[in-house]
Amino acid sequence: MAVIVLAVAGVVGGCDAEPEPVPPILAAQFPPIGAAGPLPITVDDRTGLVRSIEIARSDGNTGDGVSTVVGRPAAIRLQWTGGLCDRRAVLLFDRNGGRIEVTVTTQSADACRLAGIVRAVTLDLAEPIDPGIVVFASDIQPIQP
């Protein structure tokens, strides 16, 4: 009888399919800069590659882009120019064929288009990727009242 119970338990246990893991929501917050308040940022990772996000220092350039991180082969650095009225940023990390598409969408006050605050983050990834396959774009969306 014990053998039958164990066999049945093994079959039933094998039928329990584990749910697909849901990627954790990664979040960070830029500290206030001058007149600009703190800026929360979240990561929507549809690739399963992003392991962590950290706020990085500006490299002094004002251009948007992606680059490697010295000494960290499985990390990339993203940089873009935001503004004083930015309220929230969402980073979408997705695959498109052999490329990785990264879009940062910043929600900003509708009446305010002041730019000039360089934002940068470092993403630690599950594996190294060539920054050359990353297509990076930034978008500003007005906050609706």
At 18-59, the pLDDT tens digits run 555 555 679 999 999 887 889 999 999 999 999 999 999 877
Question: Between β-strands 99-109 and 86-96, what pairing exists: parallel, antiparallel or unpaired?
Answer: antiparallel
Higher pLDDT, 108 or 41: 41
What's the token pair of residue 122? 């470092």
Residues 77, 131: Cα–Cα separation, whole Å = 9
* Inside any domain, residue 127: yes
pLDDT in tens, 127-145: 999 989 999 998 877 775 5
* Inside any domain, residue 99: yes
* Inside any domain, residue 68: yes
* Inside any domain, residue 12: no
pLDDT in tens, 64-102: 889 999 999 999 999 998 888 888 999 999 999 999 999
* Inside any domain, residue 19: no
Tally of domains in the chain: 1
Distance between first and last Cα of the chain:
68
* Inside any domain, residue 57: yes
Q: Is 101 exposed, middle or buried (0-12, 13-18, 19+ CB in 10 A)?
A: middle
* Inside any domain, residue 6: no
Query: Domain range for residue 38?
Result: 24-143
* Inside any domain, residue 100: yes
